[in-house]
Amino acid sequence: MAAAHPAPAGTGQTIAGALRAAAAALAKAAVPEARRDARVLLEAALAAGPEVTVGDPGRPLGATDAARFRGFIERRRRREPVARIRGRREFWSLPFIVTPAVLDPRPESETVVAAALRHVADRGPRSAILDLGTGSGCLMLALLHELPTAKGLGLDISPAAVIVARRNAEALGLARRAAFVVGSWGEAIAGRFDIVVANPPYIARPAMAGLAPEVVCYDPAIALDGGADGLMAYRALAGCLPRLIRGGGFAVVELGCGQEGAVADLFAQAGLAAVEAVPDLAGHCRVLVLRAGSNQKKIGNRLIPD
Ligand code: GLN
């Protein structure tokens, strides 16, 4: 009989019922924050907001919406991050497109943006910005958004990442001031910049397998893997940053937990002093601000040499 009739428009399920079932399925798969994720994914599936998921719990769920929601919940059960399922992540209060080609922007990386803005204040806004390992473009595009006369160059070794960064620049209305190139760290870059930012891969290879499935299975390995000791990218950066920073300019680099002493030493050997070490909201030293020249800063229990 069923085959002789068109598919029913409804599923017999309400918004509240679908949310309950999805939250239970996620909890059973040990997904943390199961209820919150279920709600965010239902809103994404319906292209609606809390006025529906919270405000209209008795509304029937259509078959197409229900199928899309089931697909999203199945992906989350396999630990794909919510931002990747939605294809969108908010960073610095701006919407970024996220695809499998790029690292999912993290809230702790906003510490890089905040530190750069603090240090640029005394130089006026007409800055040239370089973002090494730009990924989604989130660091540079957040800075361009805040500094309306600045220009930026974003570099990534992954052509697919550069395409995503360009799409983000266009979607955010920043494309006129943003250029992107494919290359390895500073190799392809000539010229000097007022602000250099980088969130390089910094996970020590032996620690990769211990990362959360959301990270190790979905972030590109090339954006995470910092080599045997996690410091490989900082060695490359120490080799090129001194010639890329304009007189009076600075660099802001993100760090993994506990790397501040070793990374500050590497840059000090290249003639760059860590003038500020900035903790993230969890209290981990997340960012070093580096300048050529003489300022000294005690990082951990080491004094960075001149
Ligand atoms: N912050 C990411 C994490 O720890 C790592 C990103 C990176 O290596 N730069 O999950």
pTM of the model: 0.90
The minimum-distance atom of ligand 1 relative to the CA of 203 is 8
Q: Residue 297: give the domain boundaries.
A: 92-304
Query: Who wins on pLDDT, 8 or 286?
Result: 286
Q: pLDDT class for 6, splitting at 50, 70, 90?
A: very low
Percent of the chain having pLDDT more than 90? Answer: 87
What residue's CA is closest to ligand 1, atom 7?
A: 201
The helix/strand/coil state of 230 is coil
Which of 54, 78, 102 terminates a domain? The answer is 78
265 belongs to a structural domain: yes
Cα 298 to ligand 1 centre (Å): 24
Q: pLDDT class for 126, splitting at 50, 70, 90?
A: confident
What span, in angstroms and rounded, lies between the C-alpha atoms of 193 and 245? 5
What residue's CA is closest to ligand 1, atom 5?
A: 224
What span, in angstroms and rounded, lies between the C-alpha atoms of 277 and 62? 52
Give the per-residue pLDDT at 12.
83
Query: Who wins on pLDDT, 289 or 294?
Result: 289
Q: pLDDT class for 10, splitting at 50, 70, 90?
A: low
Cα 297 to ligand 1 centre (Å): 25
pLDDT for 36 beyond 50: yes
Other CB atoms within 10 Å distance of the CB of residue 28? 10
100 belongs to a structural domain: yes
Query: 130 with 225, same domain?
Result: yes
Q: pLDDT class for 175, splitting at 50, 70, 90?
A: very high
Average pLDDT in the chain:
92
Determine phi and psi for 229, rounding to 5 degrees: -110, 5
Q: Residue range 270-289: average pLDDT?
A: 95
Query: 64 with 184, same domain?
Result: no
What span, in angstroms and rounded, lies between the C-alpha atoms of 122 and 141? 21
3 belongs to a structural domain: no
Substitution site in 136, 215, 286 for ligand 1 pocket (most atoms within 8 Å of beta carbon) = 215
The minimum-distance atom of ligand 1 relative to the CA of 226 is 8
What span, in angstroms and rounded, lies between the C-alpha atoms of 30 and 188? 45
What residue's CA is closest to ligand 1, atom 2?
A: 224
Query: 153 with 248, same domain?
Result: yes
> 3-state SS string over 282-298?
CCCEEEEEEEECCCCCE
Give the tens place of pLDDT for each residue, 189-233.
999 999 999 999 999 999 999 999 999 999 999 999 999 999 999
Other CB atoms within 10 Å distance of the CB of residue 111? 21
The minimum-distance atom of ligand 1 relative to the CA of 215 is 10
Q: What b-and-e string marks burial along 44-68, b requiring 16 or more CB atoms within 10 Å of the CB?
A: bbbebeeeebeeeeeeebeeebbeb
**How many domains, the chain?**
2
Give the tens place of pLDDT for each residue, 38-97.
999 999 999 999 999 999 999 999 999 999 999 999 999 999 999 999 999 999 999 999
| Nearest Cα residue to 201 out of 231, 181, 180 | 231
Which of 49, 78, 107 terminates a domain? The answer is 78
pLDDT for 267 beyond 70: yes
What span, in angstroms and rounded, lies between the C-alpha atoms of 237 and 218? 25
Query: 228 with 198, same domain?
Result: yes
Cα 215 to ligand 1 centre (Å): 8
Give the per-residue pLDDT at 303.
44
Q: What is the CATH number of the domain that holds 146?
A: 3.40.50.150
Q: What b-and-e string marks burial along 240-278, b requiring 16 or more CB atoms within 10 Å of the CB?
A: bbbebbbeebbbbbbbbeebbbbbbbbbbebebbbbbbb
What span, in angstroms and rounded, lies between the C-alpha atoms of 74 and 5? 28
Query: 25 with 113, same domain?
Result: no
Query: 45 with 175, same domain?
Result: no
Which of 78, 102, 120 terminates a domain? The answer is 78
What is 203-229 written as a DSSP string?
A: B-HHHHTTS-HHHHTTS-GGGTB--TT
φ/ψ bin of 220: left (φ > 0), alpha (ψ from -120 to 50), beta (otherwise): beta
